[in-house]
C-alpha cells in the first residue's frame, strides 16, 4: 500500500478490521435529497478526520429520541400551578425552563398562553422547526407540506380535523417557527382541575395541546383518545 499516492482512507482495506469510520447504524433508506448526501458526506468526513466518532453520533440520536412531550407537560403543569413561574415563562422561556433542568441552547423559546379569547397554533411553514428539547421528535403531520401550508390559510379547518372545537369568539393566532425561535403553547387549564396535583395536571397536557392543534384533556377523560 505504501506505493499508493492517492489512497483515500489512509489505511489498508484488505486486512479486514471493523471499519470504525462507517456509520454505526445503516441509513434506513437510500438518500435521495441533496441535503441527505451533504449530511452523509459531512458526517463521514468528521468521523474520518477523528473530530467525532460514529458512537457519539449514535449517542446523540438516542438522546434526542428519549426526549418526549412529558417534558413540556411538566413545564405547562408548573405554569398552571405557580403564577410566578408562569410569569417568568412568558417573559423568558429559556430561563424559566432551565429552572426545571431543560437546557435550550442557541434558540429562543417563546411560551404562548392560550386563553378563552385567544388560541395559538404553531407551524413551521419552511421546514419542521419544533421545540424538541421539550416535545421530542415532531409528529409526521407537523412536517407535512399539507399542514405547513394549510395551517396559515385555514387554521380552523385544521383544528376541526383534530376534533378541536373553539368558540367563534376565540381568536385563532397562527405563529410561524423559525430557525432560531421555537414556540411552546401553554394550553388553557381545563375546568374542574382545581386542587389537582402538578403530576395529575401534567397528565392532561397532550403533545398536540402544546402545538396548539388541540386543547388539554378534560379531567374526566373527555377528549382523550387513548
Provide the binding-site residues for Fe ion, judged by CB under 5 A.
Answer: 124, 127-129
**Distance of alpha carbon 35 from its chain centroid, rounded?**
20
Say if CB 171 and CB 212 are below 8 A apart: no
Closest distance of CB 143 from Fe ion, Å: 9
Burial class (CB in 10 A: 0-12, 13-18, 19+), 80: buried
Angle between helices 83-91 and 69-81 (to 10 degrees): 120
How does strand 108-113 pair with strand 118-123?
Answer: unpaired
Closest distance of CB 35 from Fe ion, Å: 13
Q: Closer to Fe ion by CB, 128 or 170: give it.
A: 128
Active-site entry in 2, 14, 68, 128: 128
Q: Closer to Fe ion by CB, 21 or 132: give it.
A: 132
Closest distance of CB 180 from Fe ion, Å: 10
Backbone angles phi, psi at 111, to 5 degrees: -95, 135
Active-site entry in 32, 68, 124, 225: 124
Indicate the SS3 state at residue 60. helix
| 181 catalytic per annotation | no
Q: Using CA atoms, how far apart are residues 170 and 162, in angstroms rounded to an integer?
A: 17
- Three-state SS string over 151-182 comes to HHHCHHHHHHHCCCCCCCCCEEEEEECECCEE
| 127 catalytic per annotation | yes
Closest distance of CB 45 from Fe ion, Å: 25
Active-site entry in 68, 127, 144, 197: 127
Active-site entry in 2, 14, 129, 206: 129
Q: Closer to Fe ion by CB, 111 or 129: give it.
A: 129
Q: Closer to Fe ion by CB, 73 or 124: give it.
A: 124
Give the residue numbers marked as catalytic.
124, 127-129
Amino acid at each position: 500500500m505504501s506505493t499508493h499516492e492517492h489512497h483515500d482512507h489512509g489505511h489498508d482495506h484488505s486486512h479486514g478490521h471493523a471499519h470504525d469510520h462507517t456509520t454505526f447504524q445503516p441509513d434506513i433508506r437510500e438518500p435521495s435529497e441533496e441535503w441527505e448526501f451533504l449530511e452523509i458526506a459531512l458526517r463521514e468526513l468528521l468521523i474520518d478526520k477523528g473530530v467525532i466518532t460514529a458512537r457519539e453520533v449514535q449517542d446523540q440520536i438516542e438522546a434526542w429520541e428519549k426526549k418526549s412531550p412529558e417534558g413540556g407537560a411538566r413545564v405547562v403543569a408548573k405554569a398552571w400551578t405557580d403564577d410566578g413561574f408562569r410569569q417568568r415563562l412568558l417573559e423568558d422561556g429559556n430561563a424559566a425552563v432551565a429552572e426545571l433542568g431543560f437546557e435550550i441552547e442557541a434558540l429562543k423559546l417563546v411560551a404562548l398562553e392560550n386563553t378563552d379569547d385567544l388560541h395559538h397554533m404553531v407551524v413551521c411553514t419552511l421546514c419542521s422547526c419544533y421545540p424538541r428539547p421539550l416535545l421530542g421528535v415532531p409528529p409526521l403531520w407537523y412536517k407535512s407540506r399539507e399542514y405547513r401550508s394549510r395551517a396559515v390559510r385555514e387554521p380552523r379547518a385544521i383544528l376541526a380535523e383534530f376534533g378541536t372545537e373553539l368558540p367563534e369568539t376565540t381568536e385563532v393566532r397562527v405563529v410561524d417557527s423559525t430557525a432560531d425561535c421555537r414556540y411552546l403553547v401553554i394550553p388553557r387549564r381545563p375546568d374542574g382541575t382545581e386542587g389537582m396535583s402538578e403530576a395529575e395536571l401534567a397528565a392532561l397536557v397532550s403533545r398536540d395541546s402544546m402545538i396548539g392543534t388541540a386543547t388539554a384533556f378534560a379531567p374526566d377523560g373527555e377528549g382523550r383518545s387513548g
